[in-house]
Amino acid sequence: MKICVLPGDGIGPEIVAEAVRVLKALDLGIEMEEALLGGCAVDATGDPYPAATQKLALAADAVLLGAVGGPQWDNNPREQRPERGLLGIRKQLGLFANLRPAILYPELANASTLKPEVVAGLDILIVRELTGDIYFGQPRGIEVRNGERFGFNTMHYTESEIRRILRVAFEAARKRRRKLCSVDKMNVLECTQLWRDIAIETANEYPDVELSHMLVDNAAMQLVKNPKQFDVMVTGNMFGDILSDEASMLTGSIGMLPSASLDASNKGLYEPSHGSAPDIAGKGVANPLATILSAAMMLRYTFANEAAARRIEDAVKKVLAQGFRTGDIYEPGMKKVGTREMGDAVLAAL
């Protein structure tokens, strides 16, 4: 078991350090090697996904990532932006299946901006296609045409790209409440008409899962109106980017949500759903739980070690029940702790 650890930018190094401590404490014999991705890699090498990192990531069974990005790189040319590193590693490793759970922990019910009765017990899984769509489509660019600037991108999906992500979503639904909602914009976009057609075809392989379809605008509305109607949602790269941020905020605590990006053989990249939070970087106050829970997802999906994954998840539930809270999920009466102390609490609970 070999993992490539990419702390990244902003709060990344702080939160990844805690997840690494948790993995080491489990004593599973996992080998870890660190490398640079994102803005820190641009600063050190001029490349957000340098060759040395590529070599380690390709050789590893899994990648643990903190977060990338920060305002200091926002004006860099596109190929020297941290996000380019993230898109590059997703594409190179073929990580087409992005699993983003949005779970409301009962102890954190007040953290949501929605009424408790709307979100209590919320447990949604968003399955986002991650290596296709308008994110990677060619042609793309900004050019001068007919004397004015012209910006363009291309949305496209092949039949096989759609089918493989739908299968991942159907399989995930099978292990949950057997409901799958496929999200598209077939009333306007042909590309997503194909998506819907393939979803209907693929459903024949999964008669035990109830498939429904929803237009993306309505899905955005239904997520805030009645989120508990959803079990698993599956959608393309761009819609999934937007809906997964929305779903995560239903829980009020994006600092709690892990994610997995998998290839066809369950090699994966695991990262918190939140960003690099440059405003609190280096202060030791960031919530490490999403990264620690991402390490649990790694043990579950890449290393097929359900028991170890559960141990981490149970330890996290325990520290919440004990009242430990970082600033993002703090409520009066609870024990306010920093990043390191939260890691200590999880280690003690393990």
Q: Which residues bind ligand IPM (CB under 6 A)?
A: 83, 86-87, 241
Rounded Cα–Cα distance for residues 345 and 79 (Å)? 40
Is residue 241 part of the annotated active site? The answer reads yes
CB closer to ligand IPM, 107 vs 241: 241
Q: Count how many residues are written for the chain.
A: 350
Instruction: Report the alpha-carbon distance of residue 227 to residue 242 in Å, rounded.
Output: 15
Q: Given 3-state DSSP classes, what are the helix, strand and coil percentages for the chain, each rounded to the nearest 5?
A: 50, 20, 30
Nearer to ligand IPM, 36 or 349 (CB): 36
Per the annotation, the verdict on 135 as an active-site residue is: yes
- Closest to ligand IPM by CB, 202 vs 235, is 235
Query: What are phi and psi for residue 55, nearest 5 degrees?
Result: -60, -45
Does residue 210 belong to the site contacting Mg ion (CB under 5 A)?
Answer: no
105 a catalytic residue: no
Q: Which does 86 bind (CB under 5 to 8 A by kind): Mg ion, ligand IPM, none?
A: ligand IPM
Active site annotation includes 231: no
Q: Which does 43 bind (CB under 5 to 8 A by kind): ligand IPM, Mg ion, none?
A: none
- Burial class of residue 316 (count of CB atoms within 10 Å of its CB; 0-12, 13-18, 19+): buried
CB neighbour list of residue 134: distance below 8 Å, 6 or more residues apart: 153, 154, 155, 156, 237, 238
State the catalytic residue, choosing from 135, 157, 206, 270: 135
In the complex, minimum distance from the CB of residue 69 to ligand IPM, in angstroms, rounded to a whole number = 6
Which residues lie below 8 Å from residue 320, measured CB to CB, with a gap of 6+? 105, 107, 108
CB 245, min distance to ligand IPM, A: 7
Catalytic residue (one of 105, 184, 185, 206): 185
Annotated catalytic sites, by residue? Answer: 135, 185, 217, 241, 245
Question: Which residues in this chain contact Mg ion in the complex, by CB under 5 A?
Answer: 241
